[in-house]
Amino acid sequence: TFLSDAQITELVYELARYFHLLEDDRGDYAIEIDPRTVDRARLGLLRGLGFNRLSLGVQDLDPRVQQAVNRVQPVAMIRRAFEDARAFDFHSINADLIYGLPWQSETSLAHSLEQLIALRPERISLYNYAHLPARFKIQRQIPERTLPSPEEKLAMLVRAGGMLQEAGYELIGMDHFALPDDDLARARREGTLHRNFQGYTLHGDADLIGFGVSAISDLHDLYAQAPKRIEDWQDSVAKGDWPLERGYLLNRDDRLRRWVIIGFLCQLRLDLAEFRQVWGVDFVDYFNDVLPQLAVFEKQGLIAMQDSALVITDAGRLVARALVMPFDNHRDPTAGERFSRII
């Protein structure tokens, strides 16, 4: 909703010229909204245009934390957005919460989460705040001393995960929780859950086409990204070219590793017999270099062998991102893999 009402309307109508958009409300049409810029009338417009799923950037509900990240939005504003969305019969509401923000503590995050759970969004995403002032200029305004320690962040994550599960939410996978009757929760139980650049999805076999600035497309074995600078993007479009800055064609090893990583993150388990059947190689032989790291995770109680499957345990679910890192051949080996970087 950074776009104006007129721009969003024009965008939807242009997309409808080239794509078959369902008009019977059966499709999944999601939009991320900023509660500070959306009122009841605007939500009515979005629903009328066909959007049926919302994602709200809540971040945190503590006034001091909101002030520190320049995202002031009182609880009453968030509550009103929820009430209006439900009045217009949106199918699902997702709320994004972030842990590790300046001035945030385990206690303050728990209080924010209590208030959010009371609003009963169908899905809650619990993201780690990555402090990268060298990359993001706006983060240079945040003093390092206001950030919680890695130990405090871990405590936040564990407590928040426990609170969500006690409130009836299921851990879908990395960062995501959903109520049991939500489509994502059902998909995870049925083994049809998938993950792409947009997060968890029900449409694992669909092509993902990114149109806007920096957008990433995922077309079978090809990844392609649009320019990050809007000027470069506009120049390409003005010339009638497809705006592309870079691309990558996956080889067999890439596809194999992606299959393993997505399987772990979506099903929280990897069937070694199925791996051999699909890829024609033995897991132990192929990932011999990864076995020492897996042994460490197993000793820590984060993964376990159950019959012929490698399973992420309940203790390991909240740090699933760390558990799949050893399979990623493209990760930066100099970045380190301490939990403080992952959590």
Q: State which of 207, 232, 249 marks the end of a domain.
A: 249
Residue 112, phi then psi, degrees to nearest 5:
-60, -40
Half-sphere exposure of 7 (CA within 13 A, CB side): 4
Q: For residues 218 and 207, is the Cβ–Cβ distance under 8 A?
A: yes
Is 93 within a domain?
Answer: yes
Is 33 within a domain?
Answer: yes
Same domain, 133 and 243: no
For the record, the structure tokens of 85 come out as 């969305």
Is 198 within a domain?
Answer: no
Same domain, 170 and 142: yes
Is 197 within a domain?
Answer: no
Neighbouring CB atoms inside 10 A of 170's CB total 18
According to the model, what pLDDT value does residue 335 have?
52
Instruction: For residue range 131-142, list pLDDT tens digits in order.
Output: 777 777 777 778
For the record, the structure tokens of 299 come out as 């000793």
Q: State which of 151, 177, 192 marks the end of a domain.
A: 192
Same domain, 187 and 140: yes
User: Residue 333: which pLDDT band, with cuts at 50, 70 and 90?
Assistant: low
Distance CA 176, CA 184 (A): 10
Longest Cα–Cα distance of the chain, Å, equals: 59
Distance CA 178, CA 55 (A): 13
User: Residue 336: which pLDDT band, with cuts at 50, 70 and 90?
Assistant: very low
Is 304 within a domain?
Answer: yes
According to the model, what pLDDT value does residue 224 have?
96
* More confident site: 5 or 318: 5
Beta pairing class for 53-59 and 30-33: parallel
**Mean pLDDT over all residues of the chain?**
91
Same domain, 227 and 259: no
Same domain, 243 and 268: no
Same domain, 263 and 169: no
Same domain, 161 and 185: yes
Q: How far is CA 110 from CA 33, 159, 180, 325, in A?
A: 24, 7, 22, 29
Instruction: Collapse the DSSP code of 246 into the 3-class scheme (helix H, G, I; strand E, B; otherwise coil) and give the result.
Output: strand
Is 244 within a domain?
Answer: yes
Region label for 169, one of left (φ > 0), alpha (ψ between -120 and 50) or beta (otherwise): beta
For residues 222-248, give the mean pLDDT. Answer: 95
Same domain, 259 and 230: no
Is 45 within a domain?
Answer: yes
- Report how many domains make up the chain: 3
Alpha carbon dihedral 228, 234, 238, 244, in 10-degree steps, equals 10
User: Rounded to the nearest 10 degrees, what angle do helices 106-119 and 75-87 cross at?
Assistant: 30
Same domain, 270 and 239: no
Same domain, 221 and 308: no
According to the model, what pLDDT value does residue 334 have?
56
Q: How far is CA 296 from CA 5, 27, 105, 184, 313, in A?
A: 53, 43, 30, 31, 14
User: Residue 82: which pLDDT band, with cuts at 50, 70 and 90?
Assistant: very high
Instruction: For residue range 279-293, list pLDDT tens digits in order.
Output: 999 999 999 999 999
Instruction: For residue range 252-265, list pLDDT tens digits in order.
Output: 999 999 999 998 99
Same domain, 293 and 184: no
Domain that holds residue 329: 253-342
Same domain, 82 and 226: no
CATH number at residue 278: 1.10.10.920
Distance CA 68, CA 103 (A): 8
Is 211 within a domain?
Answer: no
Q: How far is CA 260 from CA 5, 272, 274, in A?
A: 42, 10, 11
